[in-house]
A = this chain, B = another copy of it.
Amino acid sequence: MAKKVLIVFAHQSSASFNAAAKSAAVEVLTAQGCTVEVSDLYAMNFKAAATAEDIKGDVKDAEHFRYQEETRLAWEEGRLVEDITAEQTKLTEADLLIFQFPMYWFSVPAIMKGWIDRVLTCGFAFTGEKRYSQGLLKEKKAMLSFTTGSLESMFSSTGINGDMNVTLWPIQNGILHYCGFQVLPPQIFWAPSCASPEARQTMLEGWRSRLQGLLEEKPLSFISLDCFDPKAFQLTPDVQEKHASQEFGLTVGIHLGKPLPPQNQMKAGC
Residues in chain A within 8 A of chain B (CB atoms): 12-13, 15-16, 41-42, 45-46, 48-52, 63-68, 104-111, 113-114, 116-118, 120, 132, 149-151, 153-154, 156-163, 166-167, 169-171, 173-175, 178, 193, 223, 225, 228, 232-235, 240, 249, 251-260, 262
Known interface pairs A116-B105, A160-B233, A167-B169; A257-B257 also in contact (CB < 8 Å): no
Q: Across chains A and B, which 8 residue pairs bring their CB atoms closest together, nearest first?
A: A162-B253, A106-B174, A110-B114, A48-B48, A106-B170, A15-B64, A110-B113, A160-B233
Q: List 14 A-B contacts (CB under 8 A).
A: A41-B49, A48-B111, A50-B110, A105-B116, A106-B174, A107-B174, A110-B118, A111-B114, A151-B232, A158-B254, A159-B233, A159-B234, A159-B235, A170-B170
Per DSSP, are chain A's interface residues mostly helix, strand or loop, or mixed? loop
How far is A97 from B107 in the complex, measured between Cα atoms in Å?
Answer: 20
Bound-complex Cα distance A261 to B27 (A): 46
Known: A68-B149, A110-B111, A159-B234. 16 other contacts (CB 8 A): A15-B64, A42-B51, A49-B109, A107-B113, A107-B170, A110-B113, A153-B232, A154-B233, A157-B256, A158-B256, A159-B228, A162-B169, A162-B251, A162-B255, A170-B170, A255-B259
Q: Contact check, A259 vs B258: say whether CB atoms are below 8 A apart.
A: yes
Q: Give A105 to B149 CA distance when docked, in angstroms.
A: 24
For the complex, give the distance between the alpha carbons of A207 and B12 in Å: 41
Q: With contacts A13-B65, A110-B50, A163-B255 known, is A154 near B232, CB below 8 A?
A: yes
Q: Name the residue on B nearest A254 (C-beta).
A: B162
Q: Within the assembled complex, what's the spacing in Å between the Cα atoms of A112 and B149? A: 21
A170 to B159, Cβ gap below 8 A?
Answer: no
Bound: A242/B211 CA distance, A: 44
Residue of B nearest to A63 (CB): B15
